[in-house]
Structure 1
Amino acid sequence: MPYPRLNETTTEKLEQETQALSSFGNSNLTTLEAGKSLSQLNSSVTGCYANGSVPIFLAANDTCILGFFCPNSTAQQPPQFCPPEPRCQVSRYSRGQCPPQGIFEPVVCDAGFYCPPGGKEKIECAKGTYCPMGSYQPFKCDYGALCSSKSQRQVVTVPFGILIAFDIILGLVVAIGYAISAWRKRRKGSYAPVVSDYKEAEDPFGDDVDLIAKPKRSVTTVLENEVDEDLSSNPHFEIYMRFIGRLIKSKEVGLSFEFEDLQFEPKPGKKILRNVSGSIDSGSMWAVMGGSGAGKSTFVNVLMGKTKNTGGSIKVNGHHKDMSKYKKLIGYVPQDDIVLPELTVRENILHSARVRLPATWRDRDIQAFVDSLISCIGLSHVQHSLVGDANKPVISGGQRKRVSIGMELAAVPMAIFLDEPTSGLDATSASSIMRLLRAITKLGVTTITIIHQPREQIFHGFDNLFLLGNGSEIYAGPTSDASTYFATLGYILPKHANPADTIMDVITGNGREYTTDLVWSDQPVEKLIEQWRTRSNFGDYESDLHLAPVFDTSPNLRPTPSRPVSVISSPEQEHILAQTMKKRGGSWPAQMYYCFKRSITQQIRNRNSFFFEIGVGALAGGIIGLSAFAAKGQLFRGLYQKPFTTLSSAVDYASISQVGLLGGMAIGLAASAPAVKVFGEEKLIYARERSSGHSSSAYYVGKMLSVLPRICLSSLHFSVFMGILATPLMGFHQMFAANLLYFFAVYGLASCIGMVVKREDGPLLAVMASLIIGVLGGVAPPLSKVKMWHLEGLWRMSPGVWFTEVYVSQNVLPLEYLYLLDVASEQMGFTFGQYSLDMLMIFAIGSTYRVLAYILLVTVGRKR
């Protein structure tokens, strides 16, 4: 209703009534007289509209605080409070407002208008400005915001325009990336160098480092001819061999291994390895064979340093050394194909080469080296195809196996361990891989392969055999002597059968059909172990030494095969080896950059997950915005400043704090599940790369930096849709920064969870954790109640409470001239006016999560 102006006659009459009222209040009237006077006031003018209402003076003079409209009050008739009508009372109790209940009663300035200091004018908010309820001056709208005349809030549009531009650019980048990928698949490799360039160059790298002793072994003539044929007929094979020949120098010592009484007992009473002794010369090629549960994988893991032996000793080049220190010089090809499915064949191998080859290699040379390697392992035709996974295969299983082998060969190791490298390969591919392994062995690389029932040609390609049964040695020596050795024990090996199959039958205890000696009918495996141990205890393993078998009483003497003896390196060679290890591997910045680049590529290739996360962020922001849309930006209402506190409606401390609470929980739901996959999907990849000398910190930092663009985009979508609908008083840049840091914190928390739980459990637990830190936001229960419990420190450890405090503080501070914020702060428990501290604490907690995640990454044991 309109606020009436007073004429002079009414003013004079009101002054008289005021004086009479004053006299009435100061006189010693009886109750009857007081009642009579009050009844007379019902029909008199007191300044209140309700009959019988007695006004309460709010000030001694014409005082009108900022944000109020006081059109009629004067120094003689100061602002006053009149008891409200029932409808007005209900409105105020329900956080609403009503027209003034008296002529001199002030009223808060209406939304869409502002009342300059003094409160005598109420001016319409001009276009380009907005005026929330209680404005004493208009708020200037942000550039490009929608602000018509009489606006009580602004609708920001520039961030929305930026969002659309980003989405368009992102769509174009993805489309161009796929177009380039399709084009690369259609063209031939352009990185392959001219063969003559690398034939004539003395040393294209300038790396006069590395290794090793001349190989000492007898090789099957057929395989030697095949290797020589490959070198002469395949130019890429020759290029690859020249590349690694520049890196592996035959004038220096390589890696040889000697082990004595090796044991591994993970828990009392369960021995997996028992007193295994032997030596592996540098530049030799060994096959480790045995039945299931014989201890093959455990033996190789202990020899590599991946598993700590519980007994015995290991020597490297004749010296007691910690094998883990040689991880940069050792390659390991696991039985399972641990490769990144989002990358192409070439990208997987190229990344391995870039982070593990010496930092002095130029990228052009690395590209050429990788191209020649890809050609050698027969993957040129699929080098630009994605690897895929078991659920969505792109290349065949055999090709995936070759990619896994190629990743290790790309590092040019001095010793390479392979677990079932030919499983899943056809005969041609298996032969090609074995010829490549033979070729690099000729350059001095020590090759140890776990293999199960190989083809005869592949079996004869190994220099030596290491046979295990029940965790102990059954035979260790030249492959060519294995048949003779078992023949001395009374086993007759068929001439036209694959000797590998026959030997496997014998060492697994199923060789009765190959012998007539009844001594092997009972516990044959244990007797084979004892036979080898007994023979090994005699002499120096010279080839001319003859010993009778323990279980054979005949006078005939049978030969015992010779056992290779490792070379003891000189101090000078050890120094060179140490320098070699220092030079291996890209620099820390380079490794970090390549991990960052690889992770960005993965995210782009996983476009469905990427766009789904962004869409969920936008949807969550929109839903939170809709929940606050009806408030029209009026998300807080408190007690008015003195002396107008009596005019206050019911306070609303909940709306703005709930927006902060719901915003934090929405961010947690949108970000936690995708964030846990940052590391949860790559535990095996990390374990493989770390075991090969990849810097853990470079890997971790690269992965963390790679998700920052994703966090920014998700936060931008969330903030834009929330800001457009909720239109809070805080600036968009402040809201976006708070949301961004909270995304940052949730990603850090989810990373911690991803480090310690199984991949399938990670998303659910991450969502639960994000909800927990959201509940600790200081809203329910309120932080003021938490302080009474003396648990504020616990709540302050959660980023949710700092995030909610930002929202509450930045939305009430613009109206601090109107409301009693100290009372609101006491009731809510939040501290207003510390935006920088709140933001710093969210960032600090998010960073702490990341430090904890890194510690968990490098310390928590994982199933290999």
Structure 2
Amino acid sequence: MADLISPRSLPVPTPSALDDSASQLSSIFAAESPSALPSLIPDREYILVGGQKLQNFSTVEADKVIYSLNTTTTGCYAPGAVPLARALNDTCSLGWFCPNSSAREPPQYCPPSDTCQATRLSKGTCPPQGVLEPVVCDAGYYCPPGGKQKIPCDKGTFCPMGSYQPIHCSRGAVCPPQSQRQIVTIPFGFMVTFDVLLGIIVAAGFFISRRRKQRKRSYASLQNLKELSNLDTDDIELIQKPGNLSQHPDVDEDLTSNPDFLVFMRYIAKIVKTKEVGLSFEFQDLQFEAKGGNKILHGVSGSILSASMWAIMGGSGAGKSTFVNVLMGKTKHTGGSIKVNGHHKDMSKYKKLIGYVPQDDILLPELTVRENILHSARIRLPMTWRDNGIQEYVDALISCIGLSHVQHSRVGDANKPVISGGQRKRVSIGMELAAAPMAIFLDEPTSGLDATSASSIMRLLKAISKLGVTTITIIHQPREQIFNGFDNLLLLGNGSQIYAGPTSDAATYFGSLGYIFPTRANPADTIMDIITGNGQEYTQDPAWSENAVNKLLEEWRTHVEEQTFEDSHHLNPTDTRQSTRSPSIISSPEQEQSLRQTMQKRGASWPAQTYYCCKRSITQQVRNKGSFFFEIGVGALAGGIIGLSAFAAKGQLFRGLYVPPFTILSSAVDYQSVPQVGLLGGMAIGLAASAPAVKVFGEEKLIFNREAASGHSMSAYYVGKMVSVFPRICLSSLHFSVFMGILATPLMSFSQMFAANMLYFFCVYGLASCVGMLVKREDGPLLAVMASLIIGVLGGVAPPLSKVKAWHLEGLWRLSPGVWFTEAYVSQNLLPLDYLYMLDMASRGMGFTLGHYPLDMWILFIIGSIYRIIAFVLLVTVHRKR
């Protein structure tokens, strides 16, 4: 067709020329179809390739060679078609091929044939419909400005449809000659290399961990430890001479002969220091009323001196746990008062100095025994301690609680237990002892332990109480040896006191009420029977057969009143019996200042806490390697599926209206393919990331509550946890982007696509963390997936954002990260084609704003950060049982 010339420049043929043309025509048809020569219609005017007229011939069947009368007069190929001039001169827009136009004969539009019209309506292109009609430069070729040449793309470049210059492929991309898209390979190679290195690092880490577990540790001598200590001489002698401790009836030789015990006691003494005041508690008329008007505590009064060891006993519902929670400040009392060292203070301010062992073991199952205890020590010990000292202290503590043989075993959980229940209980106790508290509260510390382990733990607690640690234990029917090891006893019934005083005087007091303790029975069992109203077998008085608990409460109130009267009037100064009311100790201003300085030094710095929490969380994720690699695999699969859905387009994901003057030559527009890639990509990311994100963020509510109650910085905990998932997000988005980019080959660069995908992963993780804080553990993954699908649907694709604007609801849609994510995809895939298409019209048709890619990325980051702030607020404020 390039050989055809305009009808206006055709020469008038002579008869001899007609003969020559006829013979030429016959030879051409013979070459194309030797068996069928054309027949021409007489009295018709025809034109031959080359510009010669033919007359008085019958009709031919090959319109590629000859054209009707209309062609000779208009330049359009279709019979009767009238062309429309597109310019006043030889104007050929960028990306167009205009081989036959000139200044005298500018480009023109010819009405398309039925076949061409159908092709254009199906978003395709067709050959020019006239001699002077321009055509968009074919894919794989570029047409330099002016449009007179169509040059194949060289190797190393690619040319999408409508290119006016070749686009250099990225380094390492696959671009054979006449490529219309590039296949980026360097990200794929980087991904494979990184995966191999990650596998090697994980394998090496497990190997090093195994070798470290098998390596025997060495202890520093106590002489060297003495040089690092600031202890008083009396304290050092107490620790260095086992005989001193072993002579105490409550500390047996099994502990003092253990070098680990001596190391542990040295560190405890270094922190607590027996010469300081410690922590004592005084409570007066303590009351607690639950919602609904149920009184759990009422009228509980007494005092607990520092360096004493108390046992709290009572039947079920007696108020033991409530009393401990109120005394610690975990639950606000509704009446009465609490004093610390003789001063009215907020107990929450002392949480760095107080340890609490809950009845249920709240541990991280992915960590080993040692890792759980070591983390607690690193976070809560004084910030002046070096890590090697902390490590040695933890080693000694693990030996003292009898866990050396399982210290490198994972804790496990109820579904997949690794260590026994008794060992889990000792880990829970060890985590609090690792903080070297000045007061420690324990809720049923011996439950789940065998008799030997329980005795060993209680002997250790007794030993540290001698160094100034106030120990308060809720205990249920302890063995006799453990019971006699307590200095004092607090018995509760129906939320009030039945007895409070020395353990050794308990039998005497109940004996004065008519109860007789059997000689060979465990006094703790006898006392439990009495205070629960089942002590009829221990008395001959029939008055105790009914309402025994209420009578015991009344007897104790009477006893306290009598004791208070005697103490205030000194009626019997020669009486050597110990008072049931312990004297209150009021700390001096110097002691209070020392206590404040101690609290300020306790605990690692905020950056250190963040680092340790991040490190611990990464360890958890590595231990859950199945879930970790599954998420990455799902991300790669999702990216591949989205890429396959766009693979057939060969990178041409958009068609719009051509810029003037060739707008009339436009095919049917395609405003959906690019937004749909964004929509499907966002939904795929949501499906791949939402469920794992719930598991990472939402399963540690109880761990968070326990650590926050012990003085752990809540923000450091959360920031460390959040930072730890960044590698996970980057890896997942890398695999997703690589497979999507290789198959879909969008026009946006890989770095831009990767940034958009990573930030959308960031948003999905934040949203899933919000869901995880609100719902139950088993419901979290499903609801997180639903939430991610909702923000994907609000991406401005269906319904289109232009229609949403007509509804005046764009602000609601803009709250979803899906809109900004899709807008980034649309913008970066359309802007490279602004010379070819009318993008402003496409922007209005879709509703997206083009050219704001940096803003889109910043908004995605801001939305993801807001999700995390909301999740943190929910983590702190929402209290629920899991």
TM-score, with normalisation over the residues of structure 1? 0.91
**Amino acid corresponding to residue 755 of structure 1 in structure 2:** M
CA gap of 1:264–1:126, structure 2 versus 1, over 3 A, is same
Q: 1:136 maps to what in 2?
A: 164
Pick aligned residue for 2:190 from 159, 162, 168:
162
Other-structure match for 2:2: 4
Choose the corresponding residue for 2:311, options 266, 287, 290.
287
- Contact 1:71–1:121 under 8 Å retained in 2: yes
Q: 1:399 to 1:254 in 2, by over 3 A?
A: same
Q: What does residue 149 of structure 1 align with?
A: 177
The Cα of 1:308 is off from its aligned counterpart by: 0.5
Query: Would you say the 8 A contact 1:341–1:389 is kept in 2?
Result: yes
Residue number in structure 1 paired with 2:217:
189
Q: Which residue does 2:50 correspond to in 1?
A: none
Segment of structure 1 superposing worse, 804-813 or 514-523: 514-523
Out of 94, 109, 112, which is 1:81 matched to?
109
Which residue is 2:40 aligned to? none
Contact 1:485–1:561, Cα closer than 8 Å, also in 2: no
Q: Deviations over 1:130-173 (max 9, x none)?
A: 00111111111000000000100000000000000110011011
Matches within 5 A, 1:184-333: 184-190=212-218, 192-198=219-225, 200-201=226-227, 203-204=228-229, 224-225=248-249, 227-230=251-254, 232-333=256-357
Contact 1:61 1:76 in 2 (8 A): yes
Distance 1:542 1:771 in 2: 75
| Shift of residue 537, structure 1, vs aligned partner | 2.0
2:806 maps to a residue whose letter is M
Whether 2:710 is the aligned partner of 1:692: answer yes
Q: Aligned AA for 1:4?
A: A
Alignment-mate amino acid for residue 647 of structure 2? F
The residue type equivalent to 1:528 in the other structure is L
Task: State the AA in 1 paired with 2:3.
Answer: R
Q: Contact (CA 8 Å) 2:5, 2:131: kept in 1 or not?
A: no
In 1, the alpha carbon distance for the partners of 2:738 and 2:102 equals 47
* Structure exhibiting the larger radius of gyration computed from Cα positions: 2
Q: Report the residue type matching 1:688 in the other structure.
A: R
**Shift in CA distance, 734/13, structure 1 to aligned 2, threshold 3 Å:** farther
Query: How far off is 1:560 after superposition?
Result: 9.1
1:109: which partner in 2? 137
TM-aligned CA distance change 1:4 to 1:678, over 3 Å: same
Q: Which residue of 2 aligns with 1:730?
A: 748
Q: 1:80 to 1:307 in 2, by over 3 A?
A: same
Separation in 2 of the partners of 1:137 and 1:798?
Answer: 38
Q: Which residue of 2 aligns with 1:97?
A: 125
Q: What is the CA-CA distance between 1:12 and the residue it aligns to?
A: 3.9
Partner SS, residue 289 of structure 1 = strand
Q: What does residue 635 of structure 1 align with?
A: 653
CA contact (8 A) 1:542 1:562 kept: no
Find the counterpart in structure 1 of residue 772 from structure 2: 754
Q: In 2 relative to 1, CA 444–8 (structure 1 residues): closer, same or farther, beyond 3 Å?
A: closer
What is the match of residue 553 of structure 2? 529
Q: Secondary structure at the match of 1:763?
A: helix
Alignment partner, residue 491 of structure 2: 467
Alignment of 1:617-696 (within 5 A): 617-696=635-714
Indicate conservation of the 8 Å contact 1:543/1:562, yes or no.
no
Q: How big is the shift at 1:331? A: 0.2
Alignment check: 8 A CA contact 2:381 2:436 kept: yes
Answer with 380-389 or 131-140: which moved more. Answer: 380-389
Matched, 1:65 2:65: no
The residue identity in structure 2 corresponding to 1:260 is Q
How far apart are the structure 2 equivalents of 1:146 and 1:427?
Answer: 72
Moved more, 708-717 or 76-85: 76-85
* Counterpart for residue 36 of structure 1: none
What pairs with 1:771-782 in structure 2 (closer than 5 Å)? 771-782=789-800
| Residues 223, 435 of structure 1: 8 Å contact kept | no
- Name the SS for the 1:239 alignment partner: helix
Query: 2:557 is aligned with what amino acid?
Result: R
1:562-641 to structure 2, matched below 5 A, reads 562-641=580-659
Residues 542 and 564 (structure 1 numbering): CA distance in 2 closer, same or farther, change over 3 Å?
Answer: farther
Distance, in Å, in 2 between the alignment partners of 1:843 and 1:207 is: 52
Gaps of 5+ in 1: 18-38, 215-220, 548-556
Q: Distance in 2 between matches of 1:628 and 1:686?
A: 45
For the 8 Å contact 1:328–1:356, the answer to whether it is kept is yes
Contact map agreement 1:541 1:560 (CA 8 A) in 2: no
For the Cα contact (< 8 Å) 1:543–1:560, is it kept in 2? no
Are residue 824 (structure 1) and residue 846 (structure 2) matched? no
Distance in 2 between the 1:356 and 1:150 partners?
66
Counterpart amino acid of residue 383 in structure 2? A
Determine what percentage of the aligned residue pairs are the same residue. 74
SS in 2 for 1:183: helix
Q: Secondary structure at the match of 1:538?
A: helix
1:391 equivalent among 415, 420, 434: 415
Deviates more, 1:639-648 or 1:69-78: 69-78
Deviation at 1:43, TM superposition (A): 6.9
Alignment correspondent of 1:506: 530
Counterpart of 1:234, as a letter, is: N
CA contact (8 A) 1:111 1:134 kept: yes
Query: Structure 2, unaligned stretches of length 5 or more?
Result: 13-44, 46-66, 239-244
Are 1:541 and 1:563, in contact at CA under 8 Å, matched by a contact in 2? no
- Do residues 721 (structure 1) and 739 (structure 2) align? yes
Is 1:488–1:558's contact at 8 Å kept on the other side of the alignment? Answer: no
- List per-residue Cα deviations over 1:2-54 (Å, max 9, x = no partner): x432347763479xx9xxxxxxxxxxxxxxxxxxxxx9964744211111111
In the aligned structure 2, how far is the partner of 1:86 from the partner of 1:48?
14
Larger RCO: 1 or 2 (CA < 8 Å, sep 6+): 1
1:495 to 498, 519, 522: 519
Per the alignment, in what secondary structure is the counterpart of residue 309 of structure 1?
coil
CA distance in 2, matches of 1:43, 1:729: 40
Structure-2 separation of matches of 1:343 and 1:659 = 41
In the TM superposition, what is the alpha-carbon distance from 1:531 to its structure 2 partner? 1.3
Q: Are 2:699 and 2:777, in contact at CA under 8 Å, matched by a contact in 1?
A: yes
C-alpha spacing 1:348/1:576, structure 2 compared with 1 (3 Å): same
Matched residue type, 1:282: S
CA RMSD of aligned residues (A): 2.3
Instruction: Provide Cα deviations, 1:302-326, integer angstroms capped at 9, x if missing partner.
Output: 0000001111111111111110000
| Normalised TM-score (structure 2) | 0.90
In the alignment of these two chains, the number of paired residues is 816
1:482 maps to 2:506: yes
Residues 627 and 40 of structure 1: is their aligned pair in 2 closer, same or farther, counting only changes over 3 Å? Answer: closer
Q: CA deviation at 1:60?
A: 1.6
> Which amino acid in the other structure matches residue 94 of structure 1?
S
Q: In the alignment, residue 522 of structure 1 is paired with which amino acid?
A: E
Q: Distance in 2 between matches of 1:670 and 1:350?
A: 34
Structure 1 residue matching 2:332: 3-state secondary structure = coil
Q: Distance in 1 between matches of 2:825 and 2:658?
A: 21
What letter corresponds to residue 691 of structure 2 in structure 1? Answer: A
Contact 2:376 2:432 in 1 (8 A): yes
Give the Å deviation of 1:752.
Answer: 1.6
Deviations 1:221-249 (A, max 9, x none): 99934615245311110111111111112
| Residues 7 and 73 in structure 2, CA contact (< 8 A), matched pair in contact too | no
- Retained in 1: the 8 A contact 2:286–2:300? yes
- Return the offset for 1:766: 1.2
Aligned residue identity for 2:544 = W
| 2:60 aligned residue | none
TM alignment of 1:799-838, pairs within 5 A? 799-838=817-856
Displacement of 1:862: 3.6
Give the 3 Å change call, closer, same or farther, for CA 366–560 of structure 1 in structure 2.
Answer: closer
Shift of 1:558: 15
Structure 1 segment 362-373 matched on structure 2, within 5 A: 362-373=386-397
Query: Quick check: 1:257–1:317 contact (8 Å CA) kept in 2?
Result: yes
